Amino acid sequence: MTVPPSTTFRVPLPDPLIELLGAKVIGLPSAELDRGLLRGDVSAAYDRVRAESADAQIVVRRCRALLDDPDDDGFAVIEAGPLLDHYGLDDGRKAATVLLSWLGRPLRAFDKWPLWKPLGTNLAIDPMRATGSGYNPLHIDVVNATEPPDYSALLCVRPDPQGEGYSIVSQLRRAVDRLSEGERAFLAEPVFHDGAFHDLTGVGTEYDPFPVLDGLLPAEGFVRFTAKMLPAMDFRDPHTSAVRALERELIAEQKRFLLGFGDLVVVNQHLCVHGREALGPGQEGVPEERRRLLWQMFLRATGADAR
């Protein structure tokens, strides 16, 4: 079952804010990093733009309401297409960085990539991976770290020309509440594994094995869920059954939507998992430079952020 979402998760950018960002972006400092995080003086410069715009403050309040209320779904889609349309991919991406910096501290996480990590479509790799063409199951990013990113953001630069690749999201905390006490007990045991851990900055240390449920409140803890770990698990193990039960609950209430050009989906990883349905058939006939392309960035919550 997939629950069709209303459009209330979409956040349009007012024209005056688009014009302001366009006027300011060239003179603003570039997104220089310090230990993987946006440098403090750069963050301050970006925040001064927010402070002078009532529209910016309204957008931030709207995003915070969607992202950080435990009773809501924990995600928002910012309609940033006009930024890319009006100012080109480079300045538009910088303007999107400024906008995201108002929600949290931009974080690179992966040392080998720039702040915005490209997620193209590679037909030669496992279709389940983020840059594959198949179903990318529900998960939080960097699940095997002691401090996963607080927010994950994906900017759609090129939708699937075959018209598929729906984004999927689901609220974690409500799904956990629907599990049995026994299932939650199995998920609280630190016996789960997923992926490698190397060349990462700003996400703490490797957490292996990890519990799915850490017992912390949503503002601090995570539901370390990734369906990507299921193929390697023993189907006879009751821990596997508990993970599958949680996956079923997440799928039962998941919402799906297509990202258009310039749509920027932001997910609060304390509350929400995300993934992607398979891309459309015939990807082999689509030139690589025309296949689906997203840019990914992470955010670290700051002391002023109220989750």
The whole-number average pLDDT for the span 203-214 is 97
159 with 121: CB under 8 angstroms?
A: no
Tens-digit pLDDT profile for residues 57-106: 999 999 999 999 999 999 999 999 999 999 999 999 999 999 999 999 99
Torsion from C-alpha of 65, 66, 68, 72, nearest 10 degrees: 110
Q: Backbone phi, then psi, for 263, in 5-degree steps? A: -70, 135
Average pLDDT on 207-228 reads 96
Here the tokens at position 197 are 């851990």
What does DSSP assign to residue 222? -
Asked if residue 20 lies in contact with residue 59, where contact means CB atoms within 8 angstroms, the answer is no
pLDDT value, residue 66: 97
Residue 4 buriedness (CB in 10 A; 0-12 / 13-18 / 19+): exposed
CB atoms under 10 Å from CB of 212, counted, come to 26
Q: Tokens 């435990």 label which residue?
A: 70
The answer to whether residue 1 scores a pLDDT higher than 70 is no
Give the relative orientation of helices 40-51 and 15-25 as an angle to the nearest 10 degrees.
140
Closest residue by Cα to residue 292 from 140, 167, 170: 167
Q: Residue 123 is encoded by which pair of tokens?
A: 């037909």
- Here the contacts of 185-191 (C-beta below 8 Å, separation 24 or greater) are 186/238, 186/239, 186/241, 186/242, 187/211, 187/212, 187/213, 187/239, 187/242, 187/243, 187/246, 188/212, 188/213, 188/214, 188/215, 189/239, 191/239
Whole-structure pTM value: 0.95
Q: Whole-angstrom Cα distance, residue 231 to residue 8?
A: 35
The pLDDT assigned to 303 comes to 66
| In contact, 276 and 166? CB cutoff 8 Å | yes
The stretch 252-281 carries a mean pLDDT of 98
Domains annotated on the chain, with CATH: 7-300 (3.60.130.10)
pLDDT confidence tier of residue 307, bands split at 50, 70 and 90: very low
For the stretch 107-148, pLDDT in tens is: 999 999 999 999 999 999 999 899 999 999 999 999 999 999
Which DSSP state fits 67? H
Q: Alpha-carbon distance 164 to 306, whole Å?
A: 35
